[in-house]
Amino acid sequence: ADAPLFGVQPGDISVSFEFFPPKTEKMETQLWEAITQLAPLSPSFVSVTYGAGGSTRERTHATVSRIIRETDLVPAAHLTCVAASKAQIDEIVDRYWEAGVRHIVALRGDPPPADGGRFVPHPEGYASAADLVAGIKARHGFDISVAAYPEIHPDATSAEADLDNLKRKLDAGASRAITQFFFSTDAYFRFLDKALAAGITAPILPGIMPVTSFSAIRRMSGNTEIPAWLEAMFEGLDDRPGPRALVAAVAAADLCKRLYDGGVRDFHFYTLNRAEQAYAICQLLGLRPKEIG
Ligand code: FAD
């Protein structure tokens, strides 16, 4: 009865953290507070997203460059095919390579929300993430990560077609996949089984999103099912940010614990540039900062 709540082996997990490039000085300060707090957990890499429509090209670059200059962290720059010719993508990846960046998260991307609708390739650009991976690999020896969807990408014609697409991206030279966030561990483990059956042996890191706002989550979720029990956990907390943050941490920690029990040891956190949730979950999973680890 006195078994520990988390019952994990201290120190046997590894993590990575995703950030987005800040728009204002205030957001920049917040991002760097988060990076400073999370860095002692020795993430295997930290990734920086690329705004819809390529809108953050310079800001992603600036953030990744500052991580290289000021920390020992390994940055991964997200890059999409949206609104860029192959020549423009070449220029971007050359600049990253020269700046010392060695890891790219290669994505197709989506049209900016204002444009709505479906992805339409640039006339001289890449038509899919798999093509982008091949293009980047042909240019430089980057380590490449790609996206995966345990609950299927909305544009996919079937689960099998989506899995074939993931395989194409890995065959083109990507070395791991990171999943869209999910709340059903069953969906994730079923996806891993199917991937293995399809011959995919590359790591598929679960993307963990500590939910703090359901309106934001619904906007981002695509096909990800938001279970009724999860929403019920947050009932009545809209105007109570303190308890809401604690409940969010418990819900995400519970998800991670179930993944851990299923054998998962690598976790990727969508931090939204805040350290507290991710840090607390890592702590519960037995990870300790370098100074005391
Ligand atoms: P793809 O792998 O190209 O696949 C998109 C869809 O098209 C899939 O349904 C696939 O099955 C289908 N498809 C592809 N090729 C073919 C083909 N030849 N024939 C038939 N069907 C095909 N977006 C951003 O704008 N910036 C970011 O920084 C960003 N980071 C992300 C990080 C992660 C971990 C994840 C999971 C997503 C991220 N996204 C980001 C969102 C992503 O850009 C969208 O989900 C986009 O709609 C799909 O990108 P993809 O790389 O998965 O595309």
Helix (H) or strand (E) holding 208: strand 207-208
- pLDDT one-digit tens code per residue, 85-131: 999 999 999 999 999 999 999 999 988 777 777 899 999 999 999 99
Nearest CA to ligand 1 atom 15: 128
Pocket test for ligand 1, best of 165, 191, 224, 270 (most atoms within 8 A of CB): 165
CA distance 28 to 35: 10
User: How much is the pLDDT for 134?
Assistant: 98
- How many angstroms separate the Cα of 62 from the Cα of each of 7, 18, 58, 95, 138? 41, 15, 6, 11, 24
- 109 Cβ below 6 A of ligand 1: yes
What lies within 8 Å, CB to CB, of 278 at 6+ separation is 15, 17, 38, 208, 210, 269, 271
Output the CA 84–ligand 1 centroid distance in Å.
16
Output the CA 104–ligand 1 centroid distance in Å.
14
Tokens 């890191």, residue located: 205
Contact 197, 227 (CB under 8 A): no
Contact 111, 53 (CB under 8 A): yes
User: How much is the pLDDT for 214?
Assistant: 75
Contact 287, 11 (CB under 8 A): yes
User: How much is the pLDDT for 1?
Assistant: 63
Output the CA 120–ligand 1 centroid distance in Å.
12
pLDDT cut 90: percent of the chain above it:
79
User: How much is the pLDDT for 17?
Assistant: 98
The atom of ligand 1 lying closest to the CA of 82 is 25
User: How much is the pLDDT for 293?
Assistant: 43
- How many angstroms separate the Cα of 93 from the Cα of each of 44, 46, 76, 104, 174? 21, 18, 12, 9, 15
Nearest CA to ligand 1 atom 6: 155
Query: Are β-strands 143-148 and 103-107 bridged in parallel, bridged antiparallel, or unpaired?
Result: parallel
User: How much is the pLDDT for 155?
Assistant: 92
User: How much is the pLDDT for 11?
Assistant: 84
| Burial bucket for residue 237 (CB in 10 Å: 0-12, 13-18, 19+) | middle
Higher pLDDT among residues 266 and 213, named by residue: 266
- 155 Cβ below 6 A of ligand 1: yes
In terms of phi and psi (left: phi > 0; alpha: psi -120 to 50; beta: otherwise), the region of 92 is alpha
Amino acid at 258: R
Output the CA 106–ligand 1 centroid distance in Å.
9
Contact 280, 248 (CB under 8 A): no
- pLDDT one-digit tens code per residue, 7-57: 888 888 999 999 999 999 999 999 999 999 999 999 999 999 998 777 788
User: How much is the pLDDT for 118?
Assistant: 85
- pLDDT one-digit tens code per residue, 163-208: 999 999 999 999 999 999 999 999 999 999 999 999 999 999 999 9
- 161 Cβ below 6 A of ligand 1: yes
- pLDDT one-digit tens code per residue, 233-246: 999 998 999 999 99
Q: What is the mean pLDDT of the chain?
A: 93
- 18 Cβ below 6 A of ligand 1: no
The atom of ligand 1 lying closest to the CA of 155 is 9
Count how many residues are written for the chain. Answer: 293
- 50 Cβ below 6 A of ligand 1: yes
Residue 153 has pLDDT above 90, yes or no: yes
- 180 Cβ below 6 A of ligand 1: yes
Tell whether pTM > 0.80. Answer: yes
Dihedral pair phi/psi, residue 198, rounded to 5°: -85, 5
Q: Where are the alpha helices (DSSP H) in the chain?
A: 25-38, 57-70, 86-99, 129-139, 159-171, 185-197, 214-220, 228-233, 241-261, 276-284
Catalytic residues: 18
CA distance 60 to 82: 15
Helices (H) and strands (E) in the chain, counts: 10, 9
Contact 287, 44 (CB under 8 A): no
Output the CA 147–ligand 1 centroid distance in Å.
6
Contact 139, 98 (CB under 8 A): no
